[in-house]
Structure 1
Amino acid sequence: MNTLSNHITQTLLDEVQRRIIQESVPRIKKCLRLLSDSQIWHRPNEQTVSVGNLVLHLMGNLRQWVLSGIDGQPDDRQRSQEFTETGPVSTEKLIRDLDSLITEINQALNRVTPEALTEKRDVQGFEESVLSILIHVTEHFSYHTGQITYYTKSTLNVDTQYYSGMDLDKTASD
């Protein structure tokens, strides 16, 4: 592949890592540290899962879509268990498991080649390109990070201060 393909691939992978690993994961960990174990495992109603379930679900999704779908590792996901777990699984264990998984995800993403981006992979009953998988896991992770943040802010009445010290009112004309 040419230099431009390598550059585009690396830029994409850097952005996926930035959005998931540098942005969403620290936000989730911050929320987990703010919430008590009972709040992490609280289900507001029978149609809503807990923050703990969402964390388990995100880890299952990353394992299946990135480690299995992209990196070719075995797919042993038990998706329904991510939602039936009632906890409590300790905050420390959730964070430790998330950190361990992120190490594996980084390693897998570092093995993605420009040629692989257009290759089709079977994941969770879908046929997707590696590029599509990368987009899916990024938006999926961000979506559930937002749910976790919303629950934390509404339950504790706190500002998570994700953008502390930044002027978010800046515009292009400033």
Structure 2
Amino acid sequence: MSLVALKTLFNRDLNRLKAEIGLYQDESCIWHIEKSISNSARNLCLHLIGNLNTYIGATLGNTNYIRNRALEFSTKDIPKKVLIEKIEETRSIIIETLSNLSLETLKTEYPLLVLETKTTTEFFLIHLATHLNYHLGQINYHRRLLDK
């Protein structure tokens, strides 16, 4: 996979994430959980922001981002506008970081052991893209199901 393809996919899907959050007509629904839905769209969004800033921004881009994963799922009452700004900041960091990577870096071992076994940087970036899409789909479904 090329760096151009990775940048294109992350750019596309982080823009989709911004759009999904922006499409909620009732802002209070972004926090809504019901029955077996245990994570709100806003908490999933914060989780994606923390995940990408940690594993791409901080690890590959040396941004000094410090993640507090527990807050991704416990923080409440962040306005939709602020959330969209955070997504855009994350998108910029991801695109800049990927722009500064070399093709050789993609073939090297990813610096952290996150999954069960060591992986290449390329494999882990693909994993992060699919993780983003997984939660993006959950947020889309959440919005269509629960937004009034």
Please confirm whether the aligned pair reaches a TM-score higher than 0.5, indicating the same fold. Answer: yes
Q: Does 1:69 align with 2:59?
A: yes
Separation of aligned partners in 2, 1:151 and 1:62: 21
2:86 pairs with one of 79, 97, 101: 97
Distance 2:142 2:14 in 1: 16
Alignment check: 8 A CA contact 1:70 1:130 kept = no
Output the CA distance in 2 between the equivalents of 1:124 and 1:83: 23
Q: Please, what is the CA RMSD of the aligned residues? A: 2.1
Greater relative CO (CA pairs within 8 A, separation 6+): 2
**3-state SS, counterpart of residue 66 of structure 2:** coil
The secondary structure found in structure 2 opposite 1:128 is: coil
Corresponding residue for residue 139 of structure 1: 130
1:54 is matched with which residue: 34, 39, 44? Answer: 44
Larger radius of gyration: 1
- The yes-or-no answer on 1:117 pairing with 2:100 is no
Matched residue count: 145
Between the aligned partners of 1:125 and 1:131, the Cα distance in structure 2 is 14
Higher-strand-fraction structure: 1
Deviation, 1:75, is 5.1
| Cα drift, residue 129 of structure 1 | 1.8
Q: Percent identity?
A: 26
Residue from 20, 30, 34 that aligns with 2:10 = 20
Bigger helix share: 2
Q: Structure 2 length normalisation: TM-score? A: 0.86
- Any idea what SS the aligned residue of 1:153 has? helix
Q: What stretches of structure 1 of length at least 5 have no aligned partner?
A: 1-7, 158-174
Listed as ranges, the matches of 1:29-40 within 5 Å are 29-35=18-24, 36-40=26-30
Aligned residues of 1:66 and 1:133 also touching (Cα < 8 A): no
TM-score normalized with structure 1 length:
0.74
Cα offsets for 1:36-68 (capped at 9, x unmatched) = 221011122476110000110001110111112
